[in-house]
Amino acid sequence: MQSRNSLIVSQAVNRGIFTANLSPATKRISMMLGEEDEPQTPQLFTELDELILDNKEQLQWKETARWIEFEEKIEERAERWSKPHVTTLPLHSLFELRTCIERGTLLFDLEANNFKEILEIIVNNEIPTGNQKSVLKEKVMHILLRTHKHHIKTSRMQTMLDLLRGASYANKSASLNSNTTADFTNEISDKPLQEQLKNKFKKQIPEGAEVANVLVGEVNFLEKPFVAFVRLKQAMILGALTEVPLPTRFLFILLGPKTKTMAYHQIGRAIATLLTDELFHIVAFKAKLREDLLAGVDEFLDEVTVLPPGKWDPTLRIAPPKILPSPHKRKSMYSLGSKVHMYKGNQIQHEERYGSNLHVAEDLKRTGKLFGGLVNDIKRKAPWFASDFYDALNLQCLSAVLFIYLASVTNAITFGGILGDATDNMQGVLESFLGTAIAGTIFCLFAGQPLTVLGSTGPVLVFERLLYNISSDYQLDYLEFRLWIGIWTAFFCLVLVATDASYLIQYFTRFTEEGFCTLISFIFIHDAFQKMFNLAKNYPINSDFNIDHVTLDHCLCLPFETENVSSLFNETTETHFKLSTATYNTTPNLESVNWPSLTKQDCLKHGGQLVGQTCDYIPDITLISFILFFGTFVCSMSLKNFKTSRYFPFAVRKLISDFSIILSILIFCGVDILVGVDTPKLIVPSELKPTNPHRGWFVYPFGGNEWWMCLIAIAPALLVTILIFMDQQITALILNRKEHKLKKGAGFHLDLFWIALIMILTSFMGLPWYVSATVISLAHIDSLKMETAKSAPGVEPTFMGVREQRVTGLLVFILIGVSLCLAPILKYIPLPVLFGIFLYMGMSALSSVQFMDRLKLLLTPAKHQPDLIYLRHVPLRRVHLFTLLQILCLVLLWVLKSTVAAIIFPVMLLALVWVRKAMECIFSKHDLSWLDDTMPEKENKVLVDKKAEKAASNNECEDSEYLYLQKGCDINISVN
């Protein structure tokens, strides 16, 4: 004979290996989910109240647990709420719950005015059905109307006041609980209490949420359980019934005979857990018959995962996963009626999933018209132009402005200095400042993607150095030759815009993006360390210091003509004293100069020389500089992640995280001032004139070189065009990734159009060429990320997108322009602090690259490797081979950039696309779909468009969740 539970399973699920058809429950749910005319169901806050005896032996309802996404329990001894955790249920409680729904009273769309009226309707429905005796009506009503005790967290001050007034509260409580008359007296308040209205927990509940109240308990006057499930037609606030004053939508009541307390408790937890399930939640809202609700329970049972007893401790709490699985896939299986196809193999799922990766973005579709893509970009971005200004009215934008300003200033000074050294100051720091301000302001004001930050980049700097060397070798006018290269490059870029050539960047897959982003990040990290090592050379540490020779280690100023200075300086102390007090008469003009008493600056001014072992050593500067360098980097990383820490309220943590870079800079500027060591500071030009006095602010196109050099410039202009196109469009592609959730669209054609016009302007003024700075642009995006202000306990704040606007970039470049007036303030910022920010930006950009995760896998034993999603589907040796090929390409690019062959560097960047295409001969499309994006093919064009439309209709594209985050739902079960 079958047991009762096995009978319930066979009747409820009605599905197995011997039945091929869909179960009635699946069909019923598919029909319910297919009703698109129904309004969206609000999120539920579920509260479990249990019937207990208080200290005065009076019955009352006490809140014992609550749910939004995860369960929180009352810690009785600690008098606090537990940490949110994943609910674990005995399977038997789900079977009992199904029986309760099958036999109890169900009321859908009940209309009532208050809690007492609801209870009267429930009790009156139980009596005619024979479930309860009429004589028990008054007792049941009396029990259900008892007072409710909620565990509301109060402030420390309120707790102290409660302790002082404890006696009065005790007397008041006693008088309330003394009412034991068995009538319909409503002891529960019809209006929310003051403590409920002041409950801070309401801030963690999402807007528009409703309540499900679960009441379970045991009484001595019932012979069989009293069960009711109610859905109100109009949600309403039922007085003091709930911890928070929110409208109640569902009521579940279970009263039963004694000796089954834990059974009632577990059944209450079971219905609360079901109501937090996305699918059952919708079923409960749309159910019209008892069978509908039973179908929801059956499907929940069908998808439950069982943890075997004896293999884990049921008292342990499972921590909430960092990433919740998307409910859309689970719902679509029922709404499309395709659940039966789940078991056809993983290959079908992979093809359907990654087919959406083949689509061409709306911004990149070819129009077939001259400047068609540019016109579409303008039409797409014009309606957002006004909102690009008022969307910046947020404190977060101020933090972004300060951070990106300091990063851009550092970038302008660093690359300006390097460019000045490479071009004999034909382009120096001042030109870098002026060019950055002009180009950035124009771009942020009119570009299609204003979140992009323009700047000098490593690849452009390499080309500038080679161009100056070629001009010097062939005695050409560098600025004039550069002007013609800039004009031809701008012309070629405009041709690319006119022909919708940005369409080609769909072939820039993750392989190309990661290679380029990693290369630029390495350049930032390399430059940061290189600057610090150069600083150490300028201020060396005296490694030969001997503490026993401290009496001999001195630095003296002596006349330059003095002979045998070294021998004199190494004499005894007496001789040294005589030298110190002597007056040297070397020239008639310096008869009265007391050389040993002069300062270093005066000594060099009078033509003297410094003699001694300590003259060239200032050891503290290098030490403090490296402390500032690494301290700024570590502090920036720590404060940026402070948002996820456990200290301080969320608003404070978020504010610290938003201003993390500024706080780090201010902290270590303060450290530098307190230490008092003369570390190298930021130097900003104070006069608006060319760095090289032999040039002006306007470059003439003719006169310095032969006329035919303007035609020769076409060849290098083609290389620059490739470099500008690759640098600009890859950066734009990275910024406009799906996981950034940008809503205002991209502007690939419009951005390239303005880059071309800006190049003409900067070429005529002899200013550096500018293109999208990948690392700074990514830092800009990261500083403007938005998250939900409210999140349920245990749920990470949801990423809402990026604050898209033009104001932050515009203010950054305006501030760079007026930095000439800010020189008295900026001179207090130590350069090591800004180099630490350089290191932070480079490391932050690398952290978002999947290549770095795969690089770690090369050094990680298999048993310690993380559960990355692509490792479930691609053999580890294939993953390592893919990573090694990327490493080889990066090494070749780095070596090429550092040699005389750097002139063909732009072509090698373009070659990454062909390398990726050739990899299809080594890797299968299945492997590439998990490790990289699939390159589009002409024969799949029709399929591609259909997939694009399907992906666009889904608000939350799951490709971004799995392709870019590459994380599963981590559930860690502690065994300690």
The amino acid present at 556, given as its one-letter code, is: L
The per-residue pLDDT for 571 is 44
What CA–CA distance (Å, rounded) separates 710 from 553? 62
The amino acid present at 721, given as its one-letter code, is: T
Entry pTM: 0.65
Phi, psi of 577 (to 5 degrees): -65, -40
Tokens of 442: 């124009």
The amino acid present at 632, given as its one-letter code, is: T
DSSP letters along 429-498, please?
HHHHHHHHHHHHHHHHHH-S-TT--EE--HHHHHHHHHHHHHHHHTT--HHHHHHHHHHHHHHHHHHHHH
The per-residue pLDDT for 730 is 81
Phi, psi of 107 (to 5 degrees): -125, 115
Please say whether the beta carbons of 906 and 722 come within 8 A. yes
DSSP letters along 515-573, please?
HHHHHHHHHHHHHHHHHHHHHHHHS---TT--GGGTTT---EEE-TT-SSHHHHHTS-H
The SS3 of residue 681 is: strand
Tokens of 628: 């500032």
Please say whether the beta carbons of 902 and 466 come within 8 A. yes
Residue where the block lists tokens 């009267």:
120
Phi, psi of 315 (to 5 degrees): -80, -15
Please say whether the beta carbons of 742 and 517 come within 8 A. no
CATH number of 41-152+212-304: 3.40.930.10
Please say whether the beta carbons of 749 and 377 come within 8 A. yes
61 CA to centre of own chain: 43
Cβ burial, residue 464 (10 Å; 0-12/13-18/19+): buried
Instruction: Please give the radius of gyration of the chain, using alpha carbons only, rounded to the nearest integer.
Output: 37
The per-residue pLDDT for 272 is 92
Strand duo 210-218 + 248-256: pairing: parallel
Please say whether the beta carbons of 559 and 574 come within 8 A. no
The SS3 of residue 207 is: coil
CB contact set of 306 (below 8 Å; sequence gap of 6+): 91
Please say whether the beta carbons of 759 and 752 come within 8 A. no
The per-residue pLDDT for 168 is 41
The per-residue pLDDT for 355 is 36
Grouped pLDDT means (10 residues each) for the chain, 976 residues = 48 52 67 63 89 79 89 78 87 90 89 86 74 72 85 61 47 34 54 78 82 90 87 88 89 85 86 89 87 87 84 81 71 54 41 40 73 84 85 82 80 73 76 85 87 80 79 81 88 89 78 80 83 82 67 71 47 39 42 68 74 66 88 87 78 77 84 84 72 78 79 85 83 80 83 90 87 82 76 68 86 84 74 83 79 84 78 84 88 77 68 82 83 60 45 42 37 39
What CA–CA distance (Å, rounded) separates 313 from 403? 49
Q: Which residues pair with 50 in a beta bridge?
A: 62, 216
Phi, psi of 817 (to 5 degrees): -65, -35
CA distances to 34, 132, 233, 252, 254 from 138, in Å: 43, 12, 26, 19, 16
Phi-psi label, residue 773: left if phi above 0, alpha if psi -120 to 50, beta otherwise: beta
What CA–CA distance (Å, rounded) separates 335 from 338? 8
What CA–CA distance (Å, rounded) separates 587 from 592? 10
**Exposed e or buried b per residue across 250-275, where buried means at least 16 C-beta atoms within 10 angstroms of its C-beta:** bbbbbbbeeeeeebbbbbbbbbbbbb
Angle between helices 24-33 and 327-335 (to 10 degrees): 110
| In the chain, where the domains are located | 41-152+212-304, 372-538+681-848, 849-941
The amino acid present at 116, given as its one-letter code, is: K
The per-residue pLDDT for 149 is 84
The per-residue pLDDT for 437 is 87
3-state secondary structure 725-774: HHHHHHHHHHHCCHHHCCCCCCCHHHHHHHHHHHHHHHHHHCCCCCEECH
The per-residue pLDDT for 274 is 92
